[in-house]
Amino acid sequence: MNDLRELYQEVILDHSRNPRHFREMPEANRHADGHNPLCGDRVTVYLHLAGDVIEDVSFKGAGCSISTASASMMADALRGKSVDEVRALFDRFHDLVTSDPSHAADQLDASSELGKLAVFSGVCEFPMRVKCASLPWHTMKAALEGAARASTE
């Protein structure tokens, strides 16, 4: 179960059981719906942008523990960040979960800014679950860019 514990770290399990920022946001000025047609996971990400800064983030939806925890921790991480910072974080998170597992440690070193999000480093060992972790991020990016929809396909 060692490898499995790398995927299902306690922090991830905790966020999946008790997701933070799990609510609709009527005052949101950006939102997008994300869908993974392969597994049916759905997430809606709400953003409240004040100028260049993300003042608030929330999400709703139904998904597996990885996508729920990813959305929850993403929302934690994005609050108060500028759009540029968010874009940079998106790229680093994307690199982390899609990296070649044999180079995962390098990614982790290079991504110290990821902070708590580094717990998702185990995901790259599970190719079938990468999209679970990245769906909320793609959806957030779509919301940021004014697209209504994001899909993992």
| Residue from the set 42, 48, 87, 94 that interacts with another protein by CB under 8 A | 42
> Exposure of 57 by Cβ count < 10 A (0-12 exposed, 13-18 middle, 19+ buried)?
buried
Least gap, CB of 114 to another protein (angstroms): 22
Q: Is position 88 an interface residue for another protein (rule: CB under 8 A)?
A: no
- Is there binding between residue 62 and another protein (CB under 8 A)? yes
Residue 149 β-bridge partners: 33
Least distance from another protein to the Cβ atom of residue 43, Å:
11
Task: Give dist(CA 85, CA 102) in Å, integer.
Answer: 27
Cβ proximity to another protein: between 38 and 105 the closer is 38
Phi and psi for 57 in degrees, rounded to 5? -140, 140
Examine residue 15 and tell whether it contacts another protein (CB under 8 A): no
- Contacts with another protein in 102-131 (CB under 8 A)? 126, 128-129
Residue 10 or 100: the one with the smaller Cβ distance to another protein is 10
DSSP letters spanning 49-115: EETTEEEEEEEEEE--HHHHHHHHHHHHHHTT-BHHHHHHHHHHHHHHHHS-GGGHHHHHHHTGGGG
149-151 and 41-50 strand pairing: unpaired
| Smallest separation (angstroms) from another protein to the CB of 64 | 4
Q: Residues in the site for another protein, rule: CB under 8 A?
A: 1, 3-4, 7-8, 13, 17, 38-42, 62-66, 68, 126, 128-129, 132
